[in-house]
Structure 1
Amino acid sequence: MSKEIMAEAIKAAPPVAVTTASLAGLSLAEWVSIATFIYIGLQVGLLVPRYWREYRAWRDGSDETDVPGDAT
């Protein structure tokens, strides 16, 4: 029974999100813009420190970039 409820909740999520956004006074386009800005901010926050470590390693002449998960 809980799998059925979860499946129905997942199916209903997009329309519920749009309705909630509309009731909050912002159009769907504005909410997409807000979500895009948040996503870009998170990406910058994650990538800038990584590139900074790689730049420092390159500048110092080190072969290790100290980037976790980097298989190079």
Structure 2
Amino acid sequence: MSQSFEITTESAKAAPPAIVSLMHVGGMTPADWVTILTLLYLVLQIGLLVPRYIDRFRRYWEGRRDES
């Protein structure tokens, strides 16, 4: 194997523990990061779903108004 491939492989193996260590030194535990990422995920999901539900609600009310 080439030396650059070995360096890349070993770097990829060492990256996750190094990232966790850096986050912990930065003052946040992995549990804190999981909480933040979960909240970010929820905000993104809500941001994607709310416009869809508003559109459906408007179409529903427009359909009801046309029936009257």
Q: Same fold (TM over 0.5)?
A: yes
For the pair shown, the structure with the greater C-alpha radius of gyration is 2
Regions of 4+ moved over 3 Å? 1-13
The aligned residue for residue 46 of structure 1 is 48
Structure 2: gaps of 5 or more residues: none
User: How many pairs are equivalent?
Assistant: 62
Distance 1:54 1:10, change over 3 A: farther
The aligned residue for residue 35 of structure 1 is 37
- Structure number with the higher helix fraction is 2
* TM-score (normalised: structure 2): 0.69
* TM-score (normalised: structure 1): 0.66
Query: Which has the higher relative contact order, 1 or 2, with Cα contacts under 8 A spaced 6 or more apart?
Result: 1
Q: CA RMSD in A?
A: 2.5
Structure 1: gaps of 5 or more residues: 63-72
Distance 1:7 1:58, change over 3 A: farther
Q: Which moved more, 1:26-35 or 1:8-17?
A: 8-17
Residue 59 of structure 2, aligned match among 52, 57, 67 = 57
Residue 22 of structure 1, aligned match among 11, 20, 24 = 24
